[in-house]
Amino acid sequence: MKYITVTLNPALDMNIALSGPLATEGLNRSVGAAFSPGGKGINVSRTLRALGCDSDAICILGGFTGAKIKSMLSGEGVNVRAISSTADTRVNISIVSPDYSFSGKQCEINNPPVRGDDAALDKDFMSGKNNGIRPAEETAEILKKVNILLHKLLEQNGDEPTAVIFAGSIPPDMPQNTYASLIRYCRERGALTICDCDGDALRYALAAHPDYIKPNLDELTQLSERRILKDQIGIAASEISVTTDCETTVLATAGALGAYLVRGHEAMHVASVPVERVLTPKGAGDTFLAAYLYAKYERGMDEKKSLSAAARVASKKIATDGGRYPDLSAAV
């Protein structure tokens, strides 16, 4: 299987470890900070690389932050297929305190892309005016390049099976049905399609009947438009799969509640793998998705074993400091 990931809104992640509990007012001191490439599709490519599997990572990169992401990914052996942008790639911040005062979660701040070197000095930055929206002509050109690059890669792969993973948020200057259009395009060419996003982007994508969607519990709740109790996760996922005439498999992750694979009215569940101390909860779902695809399509495992392997790989990742991806192959 060949793999292509599409990340329209990547980020340079800044991971910060505090020396004490987070103070919402006043000074906080860190004991360590590190940068890592971020964005759901990029995380999938990094996981596949850590499992010993290649992928083409299509991503939109701009400015010094985009250059840093490209350099770091190349250093990890990820095949970066960058499309340039005049907007600096956004910086997202993750904060963890030593006493784990966030109840097992890290504090995350996700930012928009930034346009212009003087953007940080904009007196109106609190208004949201400086949100990285590009000129309409540039956005249209970027989307055209994404389509051309996808076409080129699918043509290069020829008759070899290809999985295309669309993951992460859609930038504010792009239509929320962008993934849906790309999914239809890839399905027409026989590619396996996987989508991992949320909100309207996921609703539009679902209407295109991707082979898989990978919601977490919050995203599943948004799709269902109702509160989902822990014993209703499989039912909610089944209802969503049925709306696609059972063409879409729902691969739902629910943290400590484990993970579900649901296709139509058939469902299976695996428990989460206990971790002594969670160090990096961010990206666990992306790691799970990549590991599932690797186990099923590279190792030939059945769906139940692939789910279990994905749970083991995700548990190893979240027990790792910062934004690193260690060798994960032994966990499969």
Does residue 226 lie within any of the structural domains?
no
In a domain, 66, yes or no: yes
What local confidence, expressed as pLDDT, does residue 323 receive?
Answer: 76
For helices 303-318 and 284-297, angle between their N-to-C axes, nearest 10 degrees: 140
pLDDT score for 2? 97
pLDDT at 20: 80
Query: Has residue 63 been placed in a domain?
Result: yes
- Give the pLDDT of the chain (332 residues) as one tens digit per residue: 999 999 999 999 998 888 788 888 888 888 888 899 999 999 999 999 999 999 999 999 999 999 999 999 999 999 999 999 999 999 999 887 765 544 445 788 888 777 655 544 455 555 555 566 788 999 999 999 999 999 999 999 989 999 999 999 999 899 999 999 999 999 999 999 999 999 999 999 999 999 999 999 999 999 998 889 888 999 999 999 999 999 999 999 998 899 999 999 999 999 999 888 777 778 889 999 999 999 999 999 999 999 999 999 999 888 887 677 888 888 88
* Distance linking the first and last C-alpha atoms of the chain: 17
The domain tally of the chain equals 1
Residue 279 domain boundaries: 2-213+273-331
pLDDT at 319: 81
Question: Is 228 within a domain?
Answer: no
Q: Is residue 264 part of a domain?
A: no
Q: What is the pLDDT of residue 105?
A: 59
The CATH code of the domain that includes 13 is 3.40.1190.20
Please tell me the distance from the alpha carbon of residue 57 to that of residue 314, in angstroms, as a whole number: 20
Q: What is the pLDDT of residue 101?
A: 44
Task: Give the pLDDT confidence score for residue 289 in this predicted structure.
Answer: 97
pTM here is 0.92
Is residue 7 within a helix (H) or strand (E), and if so which, with residue range?
strand 2-7
Phi-psi bin for 65: left (phi > 0), alpha (psi -120 to 50), beta? alpha
For residue 237, being part of any structural domain is answered with no
In a domain, 98, yes or no: yes
| pLDDT score, position 102 | 44
* CB contact set of 196 (below 8 Å; sequence gap of 6+): 40, 44, 165, 166, 167, 168, 213, 214, 215, 285, 286, 289
In a domain, 197, yes or no: yes
